[in-house]
Amino acid sequence: MTRTPLGSSLPDFPWDSLADATATAAAHPEGMVDLSVGSPVDPVAPGIQLALAEAAGAAGYPPTIGTPRLRQAIVAGLARRYGMTGLAESSVLPVVGTKEAIAWLPTLLGVSGTVVIPEIAYPTYEVGALMAGAQPLRADSLFKIGPARPDLMFINSPSNPTGKVLGLDHLRKVVQWAQERNVVLASDECYLGLGWEDDNPPISILDPRVCDGDHTNLIAVHSLSKSSNLASYRAGYLAGDPSLIAELTEVRKHAGLMVPGPIQAAMVAALEDDDQEAMQKLRYAARRAKLVPALIRAGFRIDNSEAGLYLWATRDEDSRATVNWLAARGILAAPGDFYGPAGVKHVRMSLTAPDERIDAAAARLREH
């Protein structure tokens, strides 16, 4: 039998290249401050844990489309928190974490041509295109795409890693362009609730100010991993065009891609409790307020970073040199080249570290 392993067509897993910097940072006498990954460290709210425990006795297969209560909670939560009106229960679909959803979206949609991804992008967009046998194209402007009609286009606002927020006019233009050309537009909005500038709040492609209430060919990707600390729960969901949601649901049913029943119950609790989400945002805001001035005093410039969980920082040098400079001070950051050639002079620094570790990083930066 002749076969080609799928992994042979994919890029190397980026974090594997941080082994030396990790070892250097870990050797710091006061311990490493790991700001390289966006994995939550704060506790899951008690109400969410209780909902999970109370549903732990469920023995049957959960519905792929989600329980009626979960779908109702998603629709209501998106309208209440982010102004996404006009959604029905048939417009939403829970997924086993949004990384899985993004990685498999081109395959499940039958995409085989071109997939447009941001020039500085979360690596899974490119990986998903390659897994489907499609061709990724990095482009931040419609002009750069040219006359070709892609099958699928990913946008990401607020951006991981840069924290950039795409404004209303930009989003309207992209939505109109995609709908006129019958291109599926997938908007990764996992950080939508973490805006830091009142005059530039993140908005969804499903906001009526953006799409005029027409969700045709639009998919918004959302997660509870960061807003509710549910990364270990793998709790995400898609919302948008009911016909695309139905198509994805049917394929996912065949593939057995269903969110476990107890997790669905926990998602309901998270979506119905706005207070725990607001509390988590305050925690990140406090950490951001410590890191930003410390980085600036240490000679960094922070670009974009208007929203989300990361600071997109630069010393105007190769990002690997910056990673090494930080590692010598016991701080681990992600090099910008993880996210594409355009990120080669930046590093991404996460706010997902315990307060004590954030304080340690700020102190070390002040002593540089």
pLDDT in tens, 292-329: 999 999 999 999 999 999 999 999 999 999 999 999 99
- At residue 142's C-alpha, the angle toward residues 193 and 78, to 5°, is 20
Dihedral over Cα of 128, 181, 249, 160: its sign: positive
Q: Report whether pLDDT(3) > 70.
A: no
Rounded-to-integer distance, Cα 351 and Cα 361, Å:
11
pLDDT score recorded for residue 12: 63
Q: Report whether pLDDT(14) > 70.
A: no
pLDDT score recorded for residue 193: 94
Query: Which of 7-21, 190-204, 219-233 shows the lowest mean pLDDT across its residues?
Result: 7-21
Q: In the predicted model, what is the mean pLDDT of the chain?
A: 93
**Can you list the domains of the chain with their CATH numbers?**
6-43+276-366 (3.90.1150.10), 46-273 (3.40.640.10)
pLDDT score recorded for residue 355: 95
Q: Average pLDDT for residues 60-85, to the nearest whole number?
A: 95
pLDDT score recorded for residue 11: 61
pLDDT score recorded for residue 7: 59
pLDDT score recorded for residue 199: 87
Q: Report whether pLDDT(225) > 80.
A: yes
pLDDT score recorded for residue 142: 82
What pLDDT band is residue 95 in, cutting at 50, 70 and 90? very high
What is the identity of the amino acid at 355? Answer: D
Could you tell me the two tokens for 286? Answer: 């406090």
Phi, psi for 219 (deg, rounded to 5):
-130, 125
What is the identity of the amino acid at 354? Answer: P
SS3 at position 350: strand
**What would the pLDDT profile of 159-172 be if each residue is shown by its tens digit?**
999 999 999 999 99
With residue 186 as reference, give the H or E element that holds it: strand 184-188
pLDDT score recorded for residue 17: 79
Rounded-to-integer distance, Cα 161 and Cα 159, Å:
6
Dihedral over Cα of 316, 126, 181, 156: its sign: negative
The whole-model pTM stands at: 0.92
Q: Report whether pLDDT(5) > 80.
A: no
- At residue 116's C-alpha, the angle toward residues 216 and 112, to 5°, is 80
pLDDT score recorded for residue 8: 58
What pLDDT band is residue 243 in, cutting at 50, 70 and 90? very high
- Contact (CB, 8 A) for 113 and 253: no
Rounded-to-integer distance, Cα 190 and Cα 144, Å:
26
Q: Report whether pLDDT(261) > 90.
A: yes
- Contact (CB, 8 A) for 91 and 242: yes
pLDDT score recorded for residue 78: 96
- Contact (CB, 8 A) for 362 and 291: yes
Return left, alpha or beta for 305; rule: phi > 0 is left, psi -120 to 50 is alpha, else beta. left
